[in-house]
Amino acid sequence: MTGAIIAWVMLFLYPVSDITEITSLNSQPLETDYYQLFITGIHDPSPVTKPQMSSAAAIPMLVLLIMMTAVTAWAISRFKTRLYQLKLVKSAIFLNIILVAGIFLNYPGLFIQTTVNIDPAAGAYFPLISLVLLVVAHRYILKDEKLVRSSDRLR
């Protein structure tokens, strides 16, 4: 589970999406602006133009990330109550699936009225890595619970 938290921290360092605005000039597409969507907002490398998308579009992703981190940290601290820990890991998996779906279903495209290309960047794959790590953690917590129950039957 700590690997999942590390993957989520990496989201702050890498962009989630590369967004390219496209306008047409004489019926030919022309790339007009390029910016990156981070989990904290939009970063525009060119200070001349202003992106048409607000940085507030990243707030739901940031809220999901904070909720997942809190639930997973709480699950790590509840190692003595494995059934409760399993419920917490399941909820973190559910929240992570929502985040992955939002990233890969062009979530930023919902907020832009112009024609844009939205390509996943390096940061888009960290939630997938954390999802795999959470599923593996769930599996091994369940395995540990079965082992404890089987040893209780032997007493």
Q: pLDDT class for 98, splitting at 50, 70, 90?
A: very high
Range of the domain at 143: 2-154
Q: pLDDT class for 39, splitting at 50, 70, 90?
A: confident
Q: The whole model's pTM is what?
A: 0.81
Q: Is 137 exposed, middle or buried (CB count within 10 Å of its CB: 0-12, 13-18, 19+)? A: buried
Contacts of 154 (CB under 8 A, 6+ apart): none
* Residue indicated by tokens 């089987």: 150
Q: pLDDT class for 41, splitting at 50, 70, 90?
A: confident
Give the CATH number for residue 58: 1.20.140
Q: Give the chain's domain count.
A: 1
Q: What is the tens place of the pLDDT at every residue in 61-75?
A: 889 999 999 999 999
Identity of the residue numbered 121: A
Instruction: Say which range, 33-37, 50-54, 83-87, has the weakest mean pLDDT.
Output: 50-54
